[in-house]
Structure 1
Amino acid sequence: MNDQTILPISRTSLAASAAMAIILAAPANAGETVLYGPAPDWIDAASLDLIDVEDAPSTLIYDWQQRLEDGVVTEYEDAAIRIDNPELLMDHGTVSLSWLPDKGDLTVHRVEIIRGDERIDVIDGGTEFEVIRRERGLEQRLLDGRLTATLAVSGLQVDDILRVTHSVTVDDQALGDEMQASQYLFQEPWQVGFSRAIVSWPENEDVYWRAEDVAGIEPPVVKEGYKTLTVALPIDELPDMPGDAPSRFSRDPVLRVGTFADWQELSRAFAPHYQVAAEVADDSAVAAKAREIRAATSDPLERTALAVRLVQDEVSYLLNGLDGGNYMPQSADETWEKRYGDCKAKSVLLYSLLSQMGIEAIPVLVSTRGGDAIPELLPIPGNFDHMIVRANIDGTDYWLDGTSTATRLSNIGDVPAFFYALPLPVEGADLVPMMQRRKAIPNMAMDGTTDYSAGIDFPSLFSLTMRISGPQGASLRAAADEADEEQLKRFASSFASGPGGALTSVALSYDDEEAVGILEVEGVMPTEFTWTDGRMRLSSDQTERFAFNPDRARPEWRDIPVRTGGPQYTRINATIVLPDGMTDFEATGDAVIDDGFANTVIYGKRSLDGNVIRYDVDVWNDLGEIPASNLPAHKRKVRQLNALKSEILAPEDFAWRWEVDSAMLARRVKPLLEAYDAAVDFAADDDWSPLTQRASFKAQIFDWEGVLTDLDTLIANQPSAYLLGWRGGVHEALGNREAAIADAQAAYDLDPSTYLALNLAELLAYGGQRDEALELLSNLPVSDDEEGSYASTFATVAGLAGRTDDAIAALEEQVADKPTNASVLNADCWFRGLFNVQPEAALSSCTKAIERATNSAPMLDSRAMVSYRMGDYDAALSDLDSALELAPGLSASLYLRGIVRLEKGDKAGRTDVERALRMAPELAAKYAMHGVVPKD
């Protein structure tokens, strides 16, 4: 069958709508020459006199009329378009008409320009159409044999009416005396002056018709010895249907007419052509190939798999619609000799090979789109757009597609999503359902390892292998063969695992024997452990992972089932390596899940072996549908599955990276540094992300000089306000205040935002340039949302400049204006504590800030500073412990806690101070300016 010309009817542009009827027939004197003459005498010609031309849409007439008689189908089209604008002039300035010359003739009846009362006959006087072979699909290996006649309409102007009338006859060699016709029925709100579809046939011939009930077609009437169906277009707009309804509920309205009484008759009409085409001599090359396969194995299923692979891999695809090829198949011998063919040719070759090996098989017609509607349609060939082979081995049906790829013994049992098939035995057959079965091997299998050996608060090394089987995997073969390093690097950049991820290698290969595309990726990525509720935890929260929420709220939708996609099978194996020596990790949640919803089945299990946790999950998505009555139960099941939560909980006493001594830290992070170095080397020349991630990691391990080196390189190649601001902070940590101010100024020059201005002002103030800082702030435009931050920075700068009263006044104004704003209240609290100005008056603001904050750790730190100034060390220590419980990496709180502990005579305070200064070395100088220093 012709994979291009007998696709199911679908909406097309009006310009192509004349070809919407899939009429496969041919005249007695078929040829490649355009004929000119009057319309057939049975035509009921449309008249412009019945239309208000001035007020009608630009499409004045679209009239389709078809007649089925004596094995020939004639399609007549009359189109009149008013050229309202230059765009329409361009669209219709050339007339194009297509036909299949081996099946019939194209006859042009009229090409006319109507200009007011004047009628200009464009083809009068010898003007003719130019004929070209239309092979628009050659790049997709499509050769349909269609010819196109074109005519540039000389003299056509805006405001003219162009009227073109023609007919095409079709007599398909494969159908004999049988006929078929299909007509798409345009719906409201299509705008047209006059349109209709008429189909007629002799009243004594057995012709059948069917259309969707919603189209409202009246039965045919007899006119002058012909049964005639007449449909006024556009028909009423079809009821809206949910997008997840099965195809049979939302198919386009099509009038189908044919001479096949049932599916068996259609099957019998087709079968002889395919039986004959599959016959080969014993000494033929096809028979020899069958013998080779028989010699290779005695297992009929293995033989079948080898035959399918032979047809898929050694015969290229070429749709050949020439010389009756739409339905007439190429012979098996010819297909093997030419090594190309369409779905019919490949199916015939496969059928021949299997028959030679004594394997029960038969070609079958299928529809690749909307196949669930086939049983409801009138039996005509145009319902099908593809051909495959059904083989039966030990009582099991196998559906074999010679035009697909990557079929192997492991996946030969997969059932395509075509729903129904029409077998083509000589005795004929009815439609048979293509019963689905669960896929035996995954479409995609992913095996990933995440290695936290360095520590759970460090980035992790990861490796990921994806094995993609079948046709999807075969699509990777060309990319694997190319093996272009730069292309892989670009791919790596887009594939990086989440924010902050960097890849060290990407490999792409294809296993031809297994028909599997293999993608292997290695790299480094940020930790997925988070500090929540006082524990480091790795969560596999399922929230919103599964979705099933079909809408059936409308009364007219309540009985419509829901379509489920498939068949699909996904396998995920995830391994998590935890640090050696760390014990007492806890795994929460069910160790096994065996559940599902709406034709989705999920099986997963978790296992723990020493410091290795493994998750194995299989998910099957099965093709089918869910009755509307079952939807509430499936929705509840999805909510239950999404509510599942499992976690890995770290020991409560695990050591943070700033708590690890330098020598051990260096040993633990060595593999991570090597990975970041490899990622930088692997990255494409214009990809600076890995270098940025390496700089960030060096900051995590307190290698400030290393951070500075990487930032220097980044800024030299892609300067930005963000990077300059970051480098300024590193300079400050290293005690390079002048360099810090310079970078902050450069960042502000590039991006004069409030945030960068406030940062620069504070650096200037702590660097002794208080007047410059105050001047910067005095000229700064500030939005209402930024006033709290502005007041805090202004107070700090003013305080350092000795203008304490101005600072207090600005803060009091903000508190009065925003008495419940946690940020504003905290600014007041922090300033009074840091500058030791009426600290006792700050407690109220401090407490209110804590009560109103989403994250109260900074507010607790501020109140601790106030308590420290007041000499209430126990209160300060309590708040600092609480702040560090919420945010263990809050270096300022750790530093102050060390100072408070030392004041209380607790020598552990020295450890707190040292650890805080590892994280933020600038704290010592900054706090010292306010008299907050560790006790000797």
Structure 2
Amino acid sequence: MKFVWSVWLLLAASFSLFAGESLVLTPTPEWVVKQTFDKENRRDRVDGSIFLLVDKQYNFTLPKPMMYTHYATKSVNSKGVEDNSQISISFDPHYEKVLFHHVDVWRDGQRIDKSREVELKRFKQESDLEKLLYNGTETYYLVLKNVQVGDIIDYSFSIEGANPVFGDKFDTWVRLGWSVPVAKVYARSLVPVDKGFTITRVGNSEFGSLTHRQVGAMEEYVFEDGRRAYDFDEKDQPSWFIPYPYINVSNYDNWQEVAQWALPLYPNSTSGRLFAKELEQLKALPSKEAQIMAAIKLSQQKIRYLGIENGIGSHAPRLPEQILEQGYGDCKDKSLLLATLLNQLGVEAYPALVSTVHREKLNEQLPGHSAFDHVIVNFFHQGIEYWVDPTVTEQGDALDSIVQSDLGYALVIKPESVWLSEMNVNNTNQITSSVEYHFKHQKEGDSTMKITTLYEGHQAERMRRYLTANSMDTVMGEYEDYYSRFYQGVYAAEEFEYQDDPQSNVVTMVETYVLENPWMEGDENTVRVEVTADIINNSLYAPEAQNRKTPYYVGSPLMIEQNIVVNLPDRLKLEEEAFSVKNDTYSLDVSIKGDGEGLLQVLAPVYKKINMNYRYQRKASSVSVDELPKYIKETKQANEFMTYYFSYAKGK
């Protein structure tokens, strides 16, 4: 079920307008327990509003499940009037129906019926259009007339119906807290006694009360809380972290039941002229690996990504023949096509449900279809298990080098699935960069910088997509803009050299720059030039807040080697340095040494050539709250070794 409280969510920009409709009120359902709220509340103002009531009630005992919602919000200034006098309610017309119960304004203690003073519009809204997903969602948009500062906007509605793709299975999440204070939160769920429903508190469960009672063949669960705000919505949290409290209402008992629900949605359909043609071409290839790779490329490159996810199409894929005919599909369409092709090639393959949100924490989630938001393909070849994402493009050309999906856990859609499968993949994700500077004094001419970078595995595929999507002129311009943050007057001396080895999944880029004016004003009548291990520096960061309360996301496991050679115009004294840090999140080794031999190096450590070598390995994707103090301290120490300045007296 989908709904929007317009105070917190903006109406999407992509929509089309239906003919105008008139607002028709229906009585509040008899099963609803009506809630009151404190109309005199003057506390907890947020951006011109006081949120007085959030009331959500669900009835899963009806032939068509129903969700009742009641909101009350006070507008304390003109911004509050603007925000609260416009109400939006989103729904899927393929299986949901919206029923309006009341639209009132409370002014000076008196109720004013606004149902005849409202402009009602209905939009076809595509909130995920930028993701190439068409979900068929529509939105009722209510504009209340003559709303004044101090008014309380009080309205209720119900949404009737459920997506038929789920059959008699339910997996609903009810949010109970926000970053703004709400004077009263009430959430009630009615479930049948004999249908295996469980109600579970998830996330922050410290506050509020959850009560339970049985009334005949029905169970009632009620959550109540008041004047609560949650301040755990910090920047850079792992996607799996849940900062707010929820209640999960589900009648799934285990992961096996989820697999059994999904199984009939992915039939083994091999009929059709186009499917037979593609299969014949694949079988003509000389080796099994060549056939597998060609099938992967077909699903990734030939079928473009586009999702039509309205109604039952939200979770049920189209058949392979239809996907080949239309030339596009979303993750489930592409996965069913690839799995079917592989099976016809004699390769054991299955679609698999995964979560781009819960990722490696999926095994800690409650069983249910809502735990998943993506589909990939699981298959075996020569005893080796593979996890391939058919929505990814520009991957390598060999099974032993292709980057596999690494989302922690998956639910493979096959009859014998009873539990989540751990995705034990060993992807390469590495950058190796060699930089050589030749600095000249300003009066001696321009300096130069040459960079040779090897991108391997995931980084190669990322770079391949970037280079495929952009012209070399665009790439060179963006790189020049990047390096202009370090040096004035930097420009590419020649077109970049680009080599791609898709078999090894390695991309090599060679860049050569002219530095017209790399020198900056230093201290005490000096000029200096800066050299930064920028790739590692950009991957080594710490949270701004020192008293952070939640885990900190740092990115996927990654290996970076950056070796920098600095050729200076004259010898400089150098104190050689070494630094090393190893913690649960990353390891870093730094070596700063002069390169030279002879009497001068014996008498004094002066060099014209400096070697700066860095090796960084990120081992974990997030830092726990307990580890943060140590992580922040060590990262600040490491940052001191990222940039070096080489200074000379002015006039050189």
Conserved 8 A contact 2:61-2:218:
no
Matched, 1:462 2:452: no
- Kindly provide the CA deviation profile for residues 101-158 of structure 1, in whole angstroms up to 9, marking residues without a partner as x: 1122111222334445765544469x88443311244343221111222333344444
**Correspondence 1:153 to 2:144:** yes
**1:320 equivalent among 299, 308, 312:** 308
Contact 1:537–1:648 (CA under 8 A) maintained in structure 2: yes
Q: Pick the aligned partner of 2:196 from 193, 200, 206.
A: 206
1:568 equivalent in alignment to 2:555: no
Cα distance in 2 between the residues matched to 1:88 and 1:566: 41
Alignment-derived partner of residue 466 in structure 2 = 475
How has the CA–CA distance of structure 1 residues 429 and 376 changed in structure 2, closer, same or farther, with 3 Å as cutoff?
Answer: same
Give the number of the structure with larger relative contact order, counting CA–CA contacts within 8 Å between residues 6 or more apart.
2
Give, in angstroms, the shift of residue 64 of structure 1: 0.7
Is 1:40 the counterpart of 2:29 in the alignment? Answer: yes
Question: Residue type of the partner of 2:515?
Answer: V
In 2, distance between residues paired with 1:218 and 1:156?
Answer: 36
Q: Is the 8 A contact 1:587 1:646 kept in 2?
A: no
Separation (CA, whole Å) in 2 of partners of 1:397 and 1:34: 57
Counterparts in 2 of 1:538 and 1:140: CA distance versus 1, 3 Å: closer
Equivalent in 606, 623, 642 of residue 620 of structure 2: 623
1:537–1:73 Cα change, 3 Å: same
Counterpart position of 1:407: 395
Residue 56 (structure 2) pairs with residue 64 (structure 1): yes
The whole-number CA distance in structure 2 between the counterparts of 1:561 and 1:122 is: 46
Counterpart CA distance in 2 for 1:632 and 1:132 is 49
Contact 2:203 2:244 in 1 (8 A): no
TM score, norm. by length of structure 1: 0.55
- SS of match in other structure, 1:256: strand
Are the equivalent residues in 1 in contact too, given 2:533–2:642 (CA < 8 A)?
yes
State the match for 2:15 in structure 1. Answer: none
1:286 and 2:272 aligned: no
1:178 pairs with 2:169 = yes
- Note the 1:436-835 alignment, pairs <5 A: 437=426, 439-440=427-428, 442=430, 444-451=431-438, 460-466=447-453, 469-471=460-462, 473-480=464-471, 483=473, 489=477, 492-496=480-484, 498-505=486-493, 507=495, 514=502, 516=507, 518=509, 520-524=511-515, 565-574=555-564, 596-601=582-587, 619-624=616-621
Q: Does the CA-based 8 Å contact 1:364-1:387 persist in structure 2?
A: yes
Distance 1:204 1:342, change over 3 A: same
Alignment partners' CA distance in 2, 1:646 and 1:239 = 36
Residue 379 of structure 2: which of 391, 406, 411 is its match? Answer: 391
* Partners of 1:103 and 1:172 within 8 A in 2: yes
For 2:82, which of 90, 97, 110 is the aligned residue? Answer: 90
Q: CA deviation at 1:77?
A: 0.6
What is the identity, as a one-letter code, of the residue corresponding to 1:266?
V
Q: Which has a greater percent of helix?
A: 1
Q: Secondary structure of the residue that 1:450 maps to in structure 2?
A: strand
Is the Cα–Cα contact under 8 Å of residues 169 and 252 in structure 2 kept in the other structure? Answer: yes
Matched, 1:77 2:63: no
Give how far 1:445 is off: 4.3
Deviations 1:416-456 (A, max 9, x none): 4533222221333312233353x4253x4434333469999
Helix, strand or coil for the counterpart of 2:165? Answer: coil
Alpha-carbon distance in structure 2 between the residues aligned to 1:509 and 1:51 = 69
In 1: Cα distance, 2:495 partner to 2:223 partner: 60
Cα deviation for residue 308 of structure 1 reads 2.9
1:196 alignment partner, SS class:
strand
Instruction: Specify whether residues 420 and 224 from structure 1 end up closer, same or farther in structure 2 by C-alpha distance, changes over 3 A only.
Output: same
Superposition map of 1:850-861 within 5 A: none
CA distance in 2, matches of 1:91, 1:494: 40
Partners of 2:113 and 2:572 in 1: how far apart? 93
User: Partner letter of residue 61 of structure 1?
Assistant: L
In the TM superposition, what is the alpha-carbon distance from 1:355 to its structure 2 partner? 2.0
Q: Indicate if the aligned counterparts of 1:246 and 1:372 stay in contact, CA closer than 8 A.
A: no
CA deviations 1:493-528 (Å, max 9, x no partner) are 553373345324364687787485957342136679
% identical aligned pairs:
20
Change (3 A) 1:619 1:284: farther
Q: From the superposition, tell whether residues 446 and 85 of structure 1 become closer, same or farther in structure 2 (CA, over 3 Å).
A: same
Instruction: Flag the 1:251–1:345 CA change in 2: closer, same or farther, 3 A.
Output: farther
Contact 1:318 1:341 in 2 (8 A): yes
1:168 matches 2:159: yes
Q: Give the Cα separation in 2 of the matches to 1:172 and 1:508.
A: 52
Unpaired runs of 5+ residues, structure 2, are 13-20, 598-607
Identify the match of residue 356 of structure 1 among 337, 344, 347: 344
CA distance in 2, matches of 1:345, 1:578: 58
Contact 2:349 2:380 in 1 (8 A): yes
The letter for the 1-side match of 2:349 is A
Deviation sequence 1:637-674 (CA, Å, 0-9, x none): 8799779899999xxxxxxxxxxxxxxxxxxxxxxxxx
- 2:210 is paired with a residue whose SS is coil
Q: Distance in 2 between matches of 1:16 and 1:241?
A: 16
Q: Which amino acid aligns with 1:392?
A: F
C-alpha distance in structure 2 between counterparts of 1:228 and 1:33, whole Å: 35
Could you tell me whether the CA contact under 8 Å between 2:259 and 2:418 is conserved in 1?
yes
CA distance in structure 1 between the aligned counterparts of 2:168 and 2:384, rounded to whole angstroms: 36
1:107 aligns with 2:99: yes
Within 2, Cα distance between the matches of 1:491 and 1:537?
23
Residue type of the alignment partner of 1:253:
P
1:537 to 1:298, Cα distance in 2 relative to 1, 3 A = farther
Tell me whether 1:430 sits opposite 2:419 in the alignment.
yes
Once residues 228 and 42 of structure 2 are traced to their aligned partners in structure 1, the CA distance between those partners, rounded to angstroms, is 24
1:175-324 mapped onto 2 (5 Å cutoff): 175-187=166-178, 190-192=181-183, 194-212=184-202, 214-216=204-206, 217-223=209-215, 225-234=217-226, 236-237=228-229, 250-274=242-266, 276=267, 278-281=268-271, 284-300=273-289, 302-324=290-312
Structure 1 unaligned residues grouped into runs of 5+: 20-31, 650-886, 892-918, 920-936
Q: Secondary structure at the match of 1:469?
A: helix
Taking a change above 3 Å as real, the CA distance of residues 285 and 34 of structure 1, as seen in their structure-2 partners, is farther
Counterpart of 1:733?
A: none
CA distance in 1, matches of 2:442, 2:119: 82
**Per-residue deviation at 1:12?**
7.8
Q: Could you say if the C-alpha distance between residues 552 and 104 of structure 1 is closer, same or farther in structure 2, counting changes exceeding 3 Å?
A: closer
CA distance 1:547–1:346, shift in 2 (3 Å): closer
In proportion to residue count, which structure has more strand?
2
| Matched residue, 1:907 | none
Closer/same/farther in 2, CA of residues 540 and 506 from structure 1, 3 Å limit: closer
Distance in 2 of aligned mates of 1:628 and 1:161? 41
Contact 1:404 1:471 in 2 (8 A): no
**Corresponding position of 2:600:** none
The 1:94–1:602 alpha-carbon spacing in structure 2 relative to 1, beyond 3 Å, is closer
Q: 1:36 to 1:332 in 2, by over 3 A?
A: farther
Alpha-carbon distance in structure 1 between the residues aligned to 2:572 and 2:231: 61
Contact 2:358 2:371 in 1 (8 A): no
Taking the aligned partners of 1:539 and 1:494, their CA distance within structure 2 comes to 15
Q: Which amino acid aligns with 2:451?
A: L
Asked if 2 retains the 8 angstrom alpha-carbon contact of 1:180 and 1:256, the reply is yes
Contact 2:584 2:620 in 1 (8 A): no
8 Å contact from structure 1 (residues 399, 413) kept in 2: no
Counterpart in the other structure of 2:334: 346
C-alpha deviation, 1:261, in angstroms:
0.5
Conserved? CA contact 2:6–2:87, under 8 Å: no
RMSD: 5.0
Match status 1:378 vs 2:370: no
Name the CA shift for 1:143/1:889 in 2 (closer, same or farther; >3 Å): closer
Instruction: Tell me the SS of whatever aligns to 1:111.
Output: strand
**3-state SS of the aligned residue for 2:95?**
coil
CA distance in 1, matches of 2:360, 2:235: 15
Please say which of residues 74-83 and 54-63 is displaced more in the overlay: 54-63
Q: How far apart, CA to CA, are the structure 1 residues paired with 2:143 and 2:645?
A: 73
Assess if the C-alpha contact under 8 Å between 1:497 and 1:525 holds in 2: no
Contact 1:329/1:344, CA 8 A, preserved across alignment: yes
